[in-house]
Amino acid sequence: MKTVHEVSQCAGISVRTLHYYDQIGLLFPSEVTDAGYRLYDDTAISRLQQIMFYRELGFALKDIRGILASDSFDEADALTKHRKLLLMKRERLDALIGLVDRILKGEKTMSFTEFDETQIEAQRRAYAKEARERWGNTDAYAQSEQKTAQYSKQQWKTIHNEAAEIYRQFASHMDEGAGSEGAQQAVRQWQAYITKYFYTCTNDILAGLGQMYTADERFAKNIDAHAPGLAAFMSEAIRIYCLS
């Protein structure tokens, strides 16, 4: 565990920034001592590294929060995308360095193509839109953005804790079958949870989410982290619920 000051020093960002990330629900400390000291474990520091990658690539904090909060977030996939964008930035910098070298050697050039960031910006916008596209409903995403922008640090903690509890409810009924009353009650809780904190989750949207939990390996991986096979179980329970 590292203190907020240790994390600040090793990451090269201010303590004020870490406090702000905590306040907006982007990065919570792993533990707060009785004396009020924030402590960060390896998982939290890994999340901070992801945040800093996104910041390096010019993403807005609200977009970073949305991407990292998504059940579909996959660290390996994110790193692959980071690398692609960083390579594009490196190629641009190499071109600029080459232009400077030519000018220093006395070459008279009025080239400005090396300054062009069009491709990088297009790739960055496409990447930032991915989180929105995965919701499958523009109105739902807009509603979610409006709601989540107002949440306090304590509210985000409550939201994460409630989600974890519903996952546990699903997992506790896996032996009973996806059509059992316990599993179906968990589906109702999940639908109410999404509606309460993010956007109006109709049965059609819920059915689409259920399909995505197994069709998208990133959803499956993150849900199965709570219990092996949980994504498929939730998907089937949601299917049964929406057909009833």
What integer pLDDT is reported at residue 55 of this predicted model? 84
Question: Domain extents for the chain?
Answer: 2-56, 75-135, 138-243
Among 16, 9, 79, 94, which residue's Cα sits nearest to residue 46?
Answer: 79
What integer pLDDT is reported at residue 72 of this predicted model? 62
The CATH fold assigned to 138-243 is: Globin-like (1.10.490)
Amino acid at 169: Q
pTM of the predicted model over 0.75: no
Domains 2-56 and 138-243 in one fold: no
What integer pLDDT is reported at residue 181 of this predicted model? 95
Amino acid at 189: Q
The C-alpha atoms of residue 106 and residue 92 are separated, in whole angstroms, by: 22
What integer pLDDT is reported at residue 142 of this predicted model? 65
At 82-141, the pLDDT tens digits run: 888 888 888 888 988 988 888 888 877 766 776 777 777 777 677 666 645 653 345 666
What integer pLDDT is reported at residue 137 of this predicted model? 43
Contacts of 10 (CB under 8 A, 6+ apart): 2
CATH C-level class of 2-56: mainly alpha
